[in-house]
């Protein structure tokens, strides 16, 4: 199935826009239009090691917001189902369909990108596989000294497993409007009986970032990303 046909199938089956009339691809992005004039822009993502296990797509929302929005992700699994990765129940279905075959890093990135909203994770997050992923946003020594901080760790068991990792996000605090860093700890636990539990624990808020501290020369030039979540 070519990219336009797959995009049209996504729009019909997952986004429930049945009267698709035409589509046009530009690289990984496809503009799909209905006969009534509605238009949806979707993008195929092939940047994960497990991409061959499923079709991975995102809807690109057209509206602009002051607060970055988390993307809407969809996966087509081997039996033909389209599953909404932001939906907790459907993410669990996805996990038991293909997730256990994914590399632990890819699973962590998918959880970071689409899940956690029911536990208060509303801002886009950056997955921390190892301390170097902080990329200057926070001193590694500062993160490592915080109780509960961990690099990505997978603990397999005969009947399931436990994946633990951390994420960071950058937010402009009030009233001084300085960019600061927050850290969360994620724990995903599953078993062979179909039980999948996700727990997100806030570790730290308002941490000073060497990249954005006043006087660094960077804070004035920061361009706030609108509707553009970080690439986890």
100-109 pLDDT tens trace: 788 999 999 9
Cα angle, residue 216 at apex, residues 210 and 220 outer, rounded to 5°: 115
- The answer to whether residue 142 sits within a structural domain is yes
- The answer to whether residue 11 sits within a structural domain is no
Give the predicted TM-score (pTM) of the model. Answer: 0.87
- The answer to whether residue 33 sits within a structural domain is no
141 pLDDT more than 50:
yes
Q: Which domain holds residue 161?
A: 45-221
pLDDT of amino acid 227: 34
Domain count across the chain: 1
- The answer to whether residue 23 sits within a structural domain is no
- The answer to whether residue 209 sits within a structural domain is yes
Say if residue 114 is exposed, middle or buried (CB neighbours under 10 Å; 0-12, 13-18, 19+).
buried
3 pLDDT more than 80:
yes
Contacts of 187 by beta carbon, 8 Å cutoff, 6+ apart: 162, 163, 164, 198, 199, 200, 201
**pLDDT tens, residue by residue, 29-74:** 999 999 888 899 999 998 876 667 899 999 987 655 555 677 899 9
Q: Which residue has the tokens 């988390």?
A: 70
- The answer to whether residue 10 sits within a structural domain is no
Buried b (16+ CB within 10 A) or exposed e, 126-157: bbbeeeebbeebbbeebbeeeeebbebeeeee
- The answer to whether residue 1 sits within a structural domain is no
Who wins on pLDDT, 108 or 225? 108
What CA–CA distance (Å, rounded) separates 32 from 59? 11
Nearest to 172 by CA among 217, 130, 223: 223
Q: Which residue has the tokens 């970080």?
A: 230
Average model confidence (pLDDT) for the chain?
86
Nearest to 200 by CA among 90, 96, 87, 115: 115
- The answer to whether residue 30 sits within a structural domain is no
At 190, which helix (H) or strand (E)?
strand 179-191
């Amino acid at each position: 199935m070519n990219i336009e046909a797959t995009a049209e199938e996504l729009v019909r089956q997952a986004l429930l826009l049945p009267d698709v009339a035409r589509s046009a691809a530009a690289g990984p992005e496809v503009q799909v239009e209905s006969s009534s004039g509605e238009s949806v822009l979707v993008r195929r993502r092939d940047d994960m090691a497990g991409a061959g296990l499923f079709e991975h797509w995102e809807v690109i929302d057209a509206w602009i917001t002051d607060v970055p929005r988390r993307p809407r992700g969809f996966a087509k699994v081997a039996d033909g189902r389209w599953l909404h990765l932001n939906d907790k129940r459907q993410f669990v279905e996805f996990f038991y369909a293909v997730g256990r075959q994914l590399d632990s890093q890819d699973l962590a990135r998918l959880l970071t990108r689409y899940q956690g909203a029911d536990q208060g994770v509303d801002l886009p997050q950056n997955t921390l596989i190892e301390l170097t992923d902080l990329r200057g946003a926070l001193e590694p020594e500062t993160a490592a000294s915080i109780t509960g901080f961990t690099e990505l760790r997978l603990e397999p068991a005969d009947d399931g497993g436990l994946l633990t990792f951390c994420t960071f996000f950058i937010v402009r605090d009030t009233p001084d409007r300085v960019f600061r860093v927050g850290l969360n700890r994620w724990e995903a636990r599953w078993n062979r009986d179909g039980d999948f539990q996700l727990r997100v624990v806030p570790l730290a808020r308002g941490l000073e970032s060497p990249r954005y501290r006043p006087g660094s020369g960077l804070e004035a030039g920061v361009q706030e990303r609108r509707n553009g979540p970080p690439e986890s």
